[in-house]
Amino acid sequence: MATQDYKQLVFALLAAVTFGVVSVILVLVWVLHYREGLAWDGGSAEFNWHPVLNVIGFIFLQGIAVVVYRLPWTWIYSKLTMKFVHAGLHLLAFTLVVVAFAAVFDFHNAAAIPNMYSLHSWLGLTALLLYTLQLVLGVGLYLVPVAPPQWRAAFMPLHVYTGLFIFSSVVATALMGFTEKLIFSLKSPAYSSAPPEATLVNVLGLLIVAFGALVLWIVTRPHWKRPGEQTLLSSSPTTEEEDNVQGSAGPALPQPSEGLAGGLRGRSVAKQTDMDD
Ligand code: HEM
Ligand code: HEM
């Protein structure tokens, strides 16, 4: 990877993380300063866990998990290590989302509010079901070394597509949730009179869109993909090669003059062996 390209990747990653972190801060400012705070009491403060944990888990952590293979400073670690990080972050995100769901259902049941009537809730539940399936299949195919290499390779384009589809759906679902909540709860002054709370949440929605857009951009650049280590260091087939045998274009490999991709900054790339998986 040319130095210029490496700089662009790092810039995009830093910008994405900044948008993500500021989104998490703003959702906390919203519920703690403008709303009822956080508690587990069946009331509005319990509902507030729903946006907070969904933004932290389903949006921020999922987004980071999705780009984690693209962090140049992780390319010195084995593919297996990065699979554990990718899967671990998704599992953590999943756990937070389950609590976010429990919070809103518990709040609705305590206040006798009907469940699952809105488009937001339909899309949200669909996203969670797909995420669960993706997690189970991801572990079964890529972490536990039981699936034949051909299966892993054949499933990879679907894994990537479904992952990006779920991530995008969750961003859309969150935007609907913010709008609903502002319309429900801003009465006087009304949402239509643009009080500061509404402006804050509108800005939060824009930041989440920016975060999502950057994550999608980073993950869809073939030349920013983790280098195929086996091509650099070994002629024997490896699990990385097997995972990506078809289609999933590898990056332009670093030229010797670039000192291992600039991104690797002269450090040696972890050698991947069949023992990794
Ligand atoms: C309700 C999912 C984010 C606001 C719900 C329900 C689900 C859901 C399944 C139905 C609960 C029930 O029927 O008892 C999601 C998912 C999100 C998300 C997957 C991922 C980002 C948000 C955010 C907000 C929000 C960021 C902002 C405040 C609401 C509101 C309700 C609700 C106001 C109650 C009204 C309704 O059922 O539509 N959400 N939500 N949600 N959510 Fe979310
Ligand atoms: C790659 C999503 C769970 C293994 C990817 C990519 C996405 C994604 C979007 C493309 C990343 C890139 O091109 O840089 C998801 C989602 C998951 C999930 C949403 C959870 C619901 C898992 C699990 C594993 C796994 C549990 C098990 C290890 C992989 C592998 C790659 C990958 C091996 C290929 C990375 C590469 O080409 O370098 N995943 N994933 N995923 N994922 Fe997942």
The single-letter DSSP state of residue 247 is S
Measured from the CB, is residue 125 less than 6 Å from ligand 1? yes
Write down the pLDDT at residue 242.
Answer: 56
Q: 142: burial class by Cβ within 10 Å (0-12, 13-18, 19+)?
A: buried
Measured from the CB, is residue 20 less than 6 Å from ligand 2? no
Q: Which of 9, 60, 66 to mutate to test the pocket of ligand 2 (most atoms within 8 A of CB)?
A: 66
Write down the pLDDT at residue 228.
Answer: 77
Residues of the chain with pLDDT under 50: 230-238, 245-277
Residue 4 C-alpha to ligand 2 middle, in angstroms?
Answer: 27
Measured from the CB, is residue 135 less than 6 Å from ligand 2? yes
Q: Nearest C-alpha to atom 3 of ligand 1 is from which residue?
A: 174
ipTM: 0.95
Is 272 inside any structural domain? no
Ligand nearest, relative to CA of residue 59: 1
Question: Domains in the chain: how many in total?
Answer: 1
146-167 confidence digits (pLDDT tens): 999 999 999 999 999 999 999 9
Ligand nearest, relative to CA of residue 27: 1
Asked if 207 and 118 touch (Cβ cutoff 8 Å), the reply is no
Ligand nearest, relative to CA of residue 220: 2
Ligand nearest, relative to CA of residue 222: 2
Instruction: Tell me the one-letter amino acid at 112.
Output: A
Helix (H, G, I), strand (E, B) or coil at 55: helix
Q: What does the chain come to in residues?
A: 277
Q: Which of 104, 119, 123 to mutate to test the pocket of ligand 1 (most atoms within 8 A of CB)?
A: 104
Closest atom of ligand 2 to 68 CA is 14
Closest atom of ligand 1 to 105 CA is 14
Domain enclosing residue 56, as ranges: 3-266
Is 14 inside any structural domain? yes
Write down the pLDDT at residue 1.
Answer: 78
Sequence-distant contacts of 81-86: CB under 8 A, at least 24 apart: 81/270, 82/226, 83/142, 83/143, 84/143
Write down the pLDDT at residue 243.
Answer: 73
Is 273 inside any structural domain? no
Is 101 inside any structural domain? yes
Among 226, 238, 197, smallest CA distance to 69 is for: 226
Is 53 inside any structural domain? yes
Write down the pLDDT at residue 139.
Answer: 98
Asked if 42 and 241 touch (Cβ cutoff 8 Å), the reply is no
Is 271 inside any structural domain? no
Residue given tokens 């937001």 in the structure block = 120
* Alpha helices in 186-260, H assignment, sequence order: 196-219, 229-233, 239-243
Return the CATH number at 232.
1.20.120.1770
